[in-house]
Structure 1
Amino acid sequence: MLAGVGAQRLLWASTSTKDDRYSDTHYVTNLALPGSINTMPEETLLAVDDHGAVPRDPLGADVPEARAALRALDALGISFEETASRLETEAVTGFESAWREIQEVLRSRMEAAQGRNG
């Protein structure tokens, strides 16, 4: 680890349950990992506080099933590594594009404000 740099933490974002077949705490309780960060709507937070139960090993119980799913995808010619890499690249590109757009809007507004005050 680099001096002065803390460990990177896993962020679960918007973990409210969107599918009525699952418990209203499904994603929060099943993704509760030491050192992770979870953002959720207040309604989900209150549900977790009221009746959420975090399993002792949230992800561990499904490891054999997850490995079998990855093997099945591989047998179909679908590479997890390639898919994950593509999704990561697309996400980074999207964030970079949004950042550039925000910078341009701010630059334009600052120039307009300077023109009015100049």
Structure 2
Amino acid sequence: MAMTHYPQATKRTEIPSMGVNNCNAFLTDLVVSEDPDKTIVGGFFKIEKSDEPLVYTYTYHEMKIIVEGEMIISDETGQEVHARVGDVFHFPKGSVITFQSPSVGLGFFCGQRREGEG
């Protein structure tokens, strides 16, 4: 099977709004595996400075790496990280995560879900 290459994906990929009121959060699924039993999705998540943070409850497992800018990421236990380029996160299924940014941040994610779910 041939690999798929997405050259300069962070520069070329349009990331639509998540449609959350007063929150500048954006998400796109870029690539989806074809395995129906263990589907994974990879794509981009972007958050800009907003009036309100994005509070997200994960219904699947996800990994995320910050590829541009910065985010402030916290969980329901009170743990908070000022995330910068190169930081990697694991969000277990069932976790409640809050995302915000003092400016703008872009992350690449890989989630154990089907395209468009979440």
TM-score under structure 1 normalisation? 0.21
Structure number with greater Rg is: 1
Instruction: Name the structure with the higher strand share.
Output: 2
TM-score under structure 2 normalisation? 0.21
Higher relative contact order (CA 8 A, sep 6+): 2
Instruction: Name the structure with the higher helix share.
Output: 1
